Amino acid sequence: MRILGAIPTLLLVIAVAFLMVRAAPGGPFDSERALPPDVEQNIEKAYHLDEPLPAQFVRYLAGIAVGDFGPSFRYRDYTVSEIIRQAFPLSMRLGAMAMLLALIVGVSAGMAAALHKNSMLDRLISAVAMLGISVPIFVVAPLMVLVFAVSLDWLPASYAGSAGADRLIMPIIALALPQIAYIARLTRASMIEIMASDFVRTARAQGLRTASIIRYHAIKPAMLPLLSYMGPAIAAVLTGSIVVEQVFGIPGVGQFFISGALNRDYTLVLGITVFYAVIVIVLNLVVDLLYGFLDPRIRSR
């Protein structure tokens, strides 16, 4: 039922993106040098741009149904599907490592803050988390380049032209920092609420140690709010990598998206938009399934 319910959502996303791209000023074949009218007509006919918008939309939906996002208007001899297949593995690796770092650091910091509530450690973690939420990624990434690459010369300033794993360190950290802040705050609030619940007090009365209570009783229910956040967060990491890829020169999906938007490459922008929309829908479905694994009350219903 959730999959069937996602179909109208995906259709709405495709329709809105299709209309917004077409409404943007200019066209994919505009340049400083104007093309002869007959050449321009032949090009538009070859790409079906001379058809009415409803006919173009139906044609595009028919292509998506078979996994065909159409040819790129700017990258010759490449289809949008080929570009995504080449670029997405790098974006996915960058996002996966950033999300793993965010989970490890964020959950650890949030649990430490919750278990030492109102202490100096709790205040310090909360202040750093608030700072991480407040400062946008397009500010953090250039500052990291300025400090660690230009001033200290510890790490390469960009992915392109560099060799070794150290060229991914700054992009991963820049992408993970906002997520660390959100995850730490969510984990802290959830863990404080769980540790004050009746079943935890009962476990303490039975003589269980705090470590055993957290491991066997508190960790699963405390992770439920975090799990709700994880679906959109993973998608945000993948789409947020657009800024990071642009700053560090990483040839991922984000750079192609920006290039397609600047060049009015309709099919490329639409293809990446639909691709990300599918990722968000799938991740939300996975989160719903994991909810049933962590909370038996949902399985019983």
CA atoms of 196 and 107, how far apart (whole Å): 18
Poorest-confidence range of 54-68, 147-161, 255-269, 284-298?
Answer: 284-298
- pLDDT digit string, tens, across residues 139-163: 888 888 888 888 888 888 777 666 6
Q: Is 55 left (phi over 0), alpha (psi -120 to 50) or beta?
A: alpha
Average pLDDT over residues 76-88: 85
Phi-psi region of 52 (alpha: psi -120 to 50; beta: other; left: phi over 0): beta
79 strand-pairing partners: 71
pLDDT of residue 86: 86
End-to-end CA, the chain: 15
Contact predicate 190/199, CB 8 Å: no
Whole-angstrom Cα distance, residue 202 to residue 185?
A: 26
Exposed / middle / buried, residue 206 (Cβ in 10 Å: 0-12, 13-18, 19+): exposed
Among 23-27, 119-123, 238-242, the range with the most confident prediction by mean pLDDT is 119-123
C-alpha dihedral, 267 to 159 to 96 to 13, nearest 10°: -20
Following DSSP, what letter does each residue of the chain receive, concatenated?
Answer: -HHHHHHHHHHHHHHHHHHHHHHSSS-TT--SSPPPHHHHHHHHHHTTTTS-HHHHHHHHHHHHHTT---B-SSSTT-BHHHHHHHHHHHHHHHHHHHHHHHHHHHHHHHHHHHHTTTSHHHHHHHHHHHHHHHS-HHHHHHHHIIIIIIIS--S-S-STT--SGGGGHHHHHHHHHHHHHHHHHHHHHHHHHHHTSHHHHHHHHTT--HHHHIIIIIHHHHHHHHHHHHHHHHHHHHHHHHHHHHHHT--SHHHHHHHHHHTT-HHHHHHHHHHHHHHHHHHHHHHHHHHHHH-HHHHH-
Could you read off the pLDDT of 184-201 as tens digits, one per residue?
998 888 888 888 787 777
Q: Quote the pLDDT of residue 105.
A: 92
Please report which confidence band the pLDDT of residue 210 belongs to, taking 50, 70 and 90 as the band edges.
confident
Q: How far is residue 133's CA from residue 185's CA, in Å, rounded to a whole number?
A: 10
pLDDT of residue 240: 61
pTM metric for this prediction = 0.77
In the CATH scheme, what is the code of domain 87-252+275-300? 1.10.3720.10
